[in-house]
């Protein structure tokens, strides 16, 4: 990142890609309502449909399966409240936009544990699915705090073998991992525009054909009656352009390995400067852009503020929606004690991250750790 600041919080939001900025700006000049039949309306509709095709292509789905929403939070709410089921199974490490609606819906709710690496316990899931009744299994493809990747193909197979529906929150995985709808065989999947370089306030729920999903917004025929309301044409156009750019770099495979190299360099140097540092989820498959760590004896509050004063933006635990340093339910599910988890910091990289960003982060961390050491020594 250029300028005075070093932005390393891409799992919270990724800077707008230039392609997305251009698409948003151009779409703002289109005057029509996408539901109008005249030329202007058809132009707006054209932008929406083009983006729908791009979002569908990202995961190998068909355009008519894509329902545009205002965010992935809304997509997750639509999946949880709209699924024709009487029981919901979630994992202990889901995002609040799954856990809170699942509680609010008021039907039976069961939580599957994870192992100490943060991976969902498939044996427990299988035994829970033995109970009869229409069930939705909702799991994330990759965790927002640790980057830990879940075995979603296996989870989908287990669930479908027992007649359950499957929803995947692919917010952190989309554009970072290759996801194939035909291979995964899902019922629903949520994606977010601003996590892959599109504008904030855009998302989509991808829904299998003929799924009897109950809408939660009424009063218009948009999105095949699945989500009423005039579409955010400029946002959707930017979302589509960002998806296309993300998919191009994913297809080259150079971007995930470039980020993995930056992340690995960071983690190797971190352990050199603080040998007692703990990297969460490091023993399992993780997104190449995410590092979640704690240095015992240094609180997340102290690290966040000290790094921020040095011009570096990172995040702690699950702070992405509250902006506050809260104890992480994800690390708790992995069996991490309160003391260590209170020091958890997430560094997340993206398309704009460079070697120089990592240099600055390491230099700043070295100063903070050294200051802390001399404080203890004094
Ligand atoms: N799901 C996960 C795993 C997330 O990380 C987030 C945001 O951080 C969301 C859902 C919500 O996405 P949005 O910001 O588009 O509402």
Q: Is the pLDDT of residue 162 over 90?
A: yes
- State the alpha helices, DSSP H only, in the chain: 18-28, 39-59, 72-82, 96-105, 122-129, 152-161, 181-184, 233-252, 254-273, 300-309, 329-333, 338-341, 355-377
Whether the CB-CB separation of 18 and 363 falls below 8 Å is answered with no
Whole-number Å distance between alpha carbons of 37 and 248: 34
- The catalytically annotated residue of 12, 51, 320, 336 is 320
Residue 50 φ then ψ, to 5°? -60, -45
Residue 165: pLDDT band (50, 70, 90) is very high
- Do β-strands 312-313 and 6-7 pair in parallel, antiparallel, or remain unpaired? parallel
- Do β-strands 203-207 and 188-192 pair in parallel, antiparallel, or remain unpaired? antiparallel
Whole-number Å distance between alpha carbons of 82 and 330: 26
What residues are paired with 344 via a beta bridge?
A: none
Instruction: Using alpha carbons, list the distances in angstroms from residue 318 to 228, 292, 330.
Output: 31, 11, 8
Instruction: Using alpha carbons, list the distances in angstroms from residue 54 to 28, 86, 304.
Output: 19, 34, 37
3 state SS of 337: coil
pLDDT of residue 320: 40
**Weakest-pLDDT range from 7-11, 156-160, 301-305, 371-375:** 371-375
Residue 94: pLDDT band (50, 70, 90) is very high
3 state SS of 126: helix
pLDDT of residue 377: 67
Residue with CA closest to ligand 1 atom 8: 12
Provide the whole-model pTM. Answer: 0.96
Q: Is the pLDDT of residue 372 over 80?
A: yes
Q: Is the pLDDT of residue 326 over 90?
A: no
- Percentage of the chain surpassing pLDDT 70? 96
**Cα Dmax for the chain:** 76
pLDDT of residue 378: 63
pLDDT of residue 373: 78
Q: What is the mean pLDDT of residues 164-189?
A: 96
pLDDT of residue 132: 83
pLDDT of residue 2: 46
> What is the CATH architecture assignment of 6-14+253-377?
Alpha-Beta Complex (3.90)
Mean pLDDT, the chain, rounded, equals 95
Q: Is the pLDDT of residue 324 over 70?
A: no
Query: In this structure, which topology does domain 18-250 adopt according to CATH?
Result: 3.40.640
Q: Is the pLDDT of residue 190 over 50?
A: yes
What's the CA-to-centroid distance between 72 and ligand 1, angstroms? Answer: 6
Q: Is 107 a catalytic residue?
A: no
The string of DSSP letters for 20-49 reads HHHHHHHHHT----TT--SHHHHHHHHHHH
Q: Is the pLDDT of residue 46 over 80?
A: yes
What's the CA-to-centroid distance between 73 and ligand 1, angstroms? Answer: 6
Q: What is the mean pLDDT of residues 117-123?
A: 98
Q: Is the pLDDT of residue 5 over 90?
A: yes
Residue 40 φ then ψ, to 5°? -65, -45
Our mutation pick for probing the ligand 1 site, out of 74, 77, 144, counting the most ligand atoms within 8 A of Cβ, is 144
What's the CA-to-centroid distance between 165 and ligand 1, angstroms? Answer: 21
Which residues have C-beta atoms less than 6 Å from ligand 1? 71-73, 76, 95, 97, 140, 144, 169, 171-172, 192, 203, 320
pLDDT, tens digit, 9 for 90 and up, residues 194-231: 999 999 999 999 999 999 999 999 999 999 999 999 99
Q: Which residue has the higher pLDDT, 306 or 253?
A: 306
pLDDT, tens digit, 9 for 90 and up, residues 54-91: 999 999 999 999 999 999 999 999 999 999 999 999 99
User: Residue ranges of the domains in the chain?
Assistant: 6-14+253-377, 18-250
Residue with CA closest to ligand 1 atom 16: 73
Whole-number Å distance between alpha carbons of 318 and 7: 17
Q: Which residue has the higher pLDDT, 327 or 90?
A: 90
**Weakest-pLDDT range from 104-118, 125-139, 312-326, 357-371:** 312-326
pLDDT of residue 1: 45
């Amino acid at each position: 990142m250029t300028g005075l600041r070093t932005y390393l919080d891409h799992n919270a939001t990724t800077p707008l890609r230039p392609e997305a900025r251009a698409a948003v700006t151009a779409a703002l000049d289109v005057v029509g309502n996408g539901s109008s039949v005249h030329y202007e309306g058809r132009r707006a509709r054209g932008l929406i449909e083009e983006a729908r095709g791009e979002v569908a292509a990202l995961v190998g789905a068909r355009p008519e399966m894509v329902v545009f929403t205002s965010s992935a939070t809304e997509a997750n709410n639509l999946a949880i409240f709209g699924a024709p089921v009487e029981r919901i199974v979630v994992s202990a490490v889901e995002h609040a936009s799954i856990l809170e609606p699942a509680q609010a819906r008021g039907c039976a709710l069961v939580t599957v544990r994870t192992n100490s690496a943060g991976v969902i316990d498939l044996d427990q899931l299988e035994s829970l699915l033995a109970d009869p009744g229409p069930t939705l299994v909702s799991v994330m493809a990759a965790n927002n705090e640790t980057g830990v990747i879940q075995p979603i193909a296996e989870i989908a197979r287990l669930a479908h073998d027992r007649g359950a529906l499957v929803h995947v929150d692919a917010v952190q995985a989309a554009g970072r991992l290759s996801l194939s709808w035909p291979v995964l065989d899902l019922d629903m999947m949520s994606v977010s525009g601003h996590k892959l370089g599109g504008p904030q306030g855009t998302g989509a729920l991808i829904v299998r054909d003929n799924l009897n999903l109950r809408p939660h917004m009424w009063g218009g025929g948009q999105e095949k009656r699945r989500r009423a309301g005039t579409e955010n044409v400029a946002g959707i156009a930017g979302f589509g352009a960002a998806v296309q750019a993300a998919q191009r770099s994913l297809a080259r495979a150079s971007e995930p390995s470039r980020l993995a190299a930056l992340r690995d360099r960071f983690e190797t140097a971190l352990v050199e400067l603080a040998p007692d540092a703990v990297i969460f989820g490091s023993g399992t498959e993780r997104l190449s852009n995410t590092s979640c760590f704690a240095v015992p004896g240094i609180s997340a509050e102290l690290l966040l503020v000290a790094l921020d004063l040095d011009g570096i933006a990172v995040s702690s635990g699950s702070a992405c929606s509250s902006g506050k340093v809260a104890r992480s339910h994800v690390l708790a599910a992995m069996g991490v004690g309160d003391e260590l988890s209170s020091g958890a910091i997430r560094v997340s990289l993206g398309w704009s991250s460079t070697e120089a960003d990592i240099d600055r982060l390491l230099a700043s961390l070295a100063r903070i750790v050294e200051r802390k050491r001399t404080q203890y020594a004094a």
